[in-house]
Chain A
Amino acid sequence: MSQTITLKIDGVEIKAQPGQKVIEAADAAGVYIPRLCHKPGLEPFGSCRLCTVLANGRPCSACTTPVVEGMVVENETESLQNFRKQIIEMLFVEGNHFCMFCEKSGNCELQAVAYRFGITAPTFPYQWPHREVDASHPDILIDHNRCILCGRCVRTSRDLDGKHVFDFVGRGCEKKIGVNADSRLADTNADISDQALDACPVGALLRKQTAYQTPIGQRLYDLEPIGSEIESTGNTN
């Protein structure tokens, strides 16, 4: 029953379980594939494309692609890294990301992947879209300026909290996170204890009155790049 699958990531052979996605097998083996919309425990989404790898020569998102016996995966190639860098840069210019005063700075996954890729300034022009802030709820706020539409709050609220507080509304550059009420977050059944609040990789969905509690230098990504926790704990089983 415990049939294992063997695949190669960047020439290194790793073992995987049937049914695993490439990113899960890589995580278990201590190989970091950059990601934003993927979060363990949530249904794979494949929207941010940051985890794009070449599987048997074909580009696909590692978070949605199941492992197959003998699969050859390319992950850290120069062209893939450049491609990922451009995705990160686009996310920065398409929103309004003011890291200097953001409560999430230092613990933000978007910022952390940018740090990991050594991005000092985007090569694309800033868009400066007009986005709203919904601070109507007594304990929670949504700042759409920082939202990267990863859908992690949507999936967490729906599948783990069982509430379906959030969903996408609109199309293209008008697309945004909507709430399960006519207009305001305050009119939903969102609660401060919702797991959805912890699912946000950026500072778009925040608990109020919890900001700036960790001093600079002690935050999640101040000293070690994102992904180093995977690279240090994984073992080639």
Chain B
Amino acid sequence: MPATKPRIATTSLAGCFGCHMSLLDIDERILQLAELVDFDKSPIDDYKQFTQHCAVGLIEGGCCNEENVAVLRDFRTHCDVLVSIGDCATMGGIPALRNMVTIEECMQEAYVSGPSVYNPSGKVPDNPEVPLLLDKVYPAHEVVKIDYHLPGCPPPADTLFAALVALLSDEPIKLPYQLIKYD
């Protein structure tokens, strides 16, 4: 077994894991991908920490809290190339719908005054175990440098596969018109 396979790491920040589902949707080509790479920190192999430096990091989701920022910076440190995958990473996505109201209003609605809320204490959670929310949801490239963006909700499996293969074979990512979509 060759010991020099490039390593790839993935994470889902403020996302829904839909982009990871789309990655799995490459079907049997995942065997081809397994030939090309080893997975490092990723929900796919459940590694919680980086074990080595990685060639490629795939970022799903934007940053909605301090933990997202810490993970994203960790990825920037440990990966040569970072790729934003999906609309949440590239523009904030559904979580960014809260960006048009203040965080106070948002928390009030979610934990106190929302029509389906049952919360007799009337308090907003402030346990130190719960990561602190940021004022807004930020796309990944507004927090660290991102090298490539693959929009879509989620990006089609073909888009992810074509981009990964191009990256891993040191070729420029050239995707046909049909593979770059925002929905």
Query: Contacts of A111 on B, CB cut-off 8 Å?
Result: 182
**In this assembly, does B165 line the interface, its C-beta being within 8 Å of a C-beta of chain A?**
no
Query: Contacts of A131 on B, CB cut-off 8 Å?
Result: 100
Chain A proximity mask over B143-183: 1 for CB below 8 Å, otherwise 0? 00010111101000000000000000000000001101111
* Distance in Å: Cβ of B135 to nearest Cβ of chain A: 11
Count, A-B residue pairs, CB within 8 A: 68
Contact partner of A99 (CB less than 8 A), chosen from B97, B99, B153, is B153
Asked whether, in the complex, the Cβ of B150 is within 8 Å of the Cβ of A120, the reply is yes
Q: How far is the CA of A100 from the CA of B92 in the complex (A)?
A: 11
**In this assembly, does B45 line the interface, its C-beta being within 8 Å of a C-beta of chain A?**
no
Interface size class of A (residues with CB under 8 A): 20 to 34
Asked whether, in the complex, the Cβ of A121 is within 8 Å of the Cβ of B139, the reply is yes
* Distance in Å: Cβ of B18 to nearest Cβ of chain A: 10
Asked whether, in the complex, the Cβ of A105 is within 8 Å of the Cβ of B151, the reply is no
Q: A121-B149, A128-B136, A225-B177 are in contact. Are A100 and B183 (CB under 8 A)?
A: yes
**A90-111 interface with B by 8 A CB criterion:** 92, 96-102, 105-106, 111
**In this assembly, does B112 line the interface, its C-beta being within 8 Å of a C-beta of chain A?**
no
Binding stretch for chain A, among B2-10, B27-35, B67-75, B83-91: B83-91
Q: How far is the CA of A126 from the CA of B180 in the complex (A)?
A: 20
Chain B residue at smallest Cβ distance from A93: B91
Q: A120-B151, A121-B90, A126-B91 are in contact. Are A105 and B182 (CB under 8 A)?
A: yes
Asked whether, in the complex, the Cβ of A100 is within 8 Å of the Cβ of B90, the reply is no
Asked whether, in the complex, the Cβ of A120 is within 8 Å of the Cβ of B148, the reply is yes
Asked whether, in the complex, the Cβ of A216 is within 8 Å of the Cβ of B183, the reply is yes
Q: How far is the CA of A131 from the CA of B100 in the complex (A)?
A: 8
Query: Contacts of B149 on A, CB cut-off 8 Å?
Result: 120-121
Asked whether, in the complex, the Cβ of B100 is within 8 Å of the Cβ of A99, the reply is no
A-B contact pairs, 25 of them (CB 8 A): A98-B93, A100-B93, A100-B153, A100-B182, A105-B182, A115-B180, A115-B182, A120-B148, A120-B150, A121-B91, A121-B139, A121-B146, A121-B149, A122-B91, A126-B96, A126-B99, A126-B139, A128-B100, A128-B136, A129-B100, A130-B100, A130-B101, A145-B100, A223-B177, A223-B178
Given contacts A100-B87, A115-B181, A223-B177, 9 further A-B contacts (CB under 8 A): A98-B94, A99-B183, A100-B153, A120-B149, A121-B91, A121-B141, A128-B96, A216-B183, A222-B181
Interchain residue pairs A-B with the least CB separation, the first 6: A99-B182, A100-B153, A120-B149, A121-B149, A128-B99, A121-B90
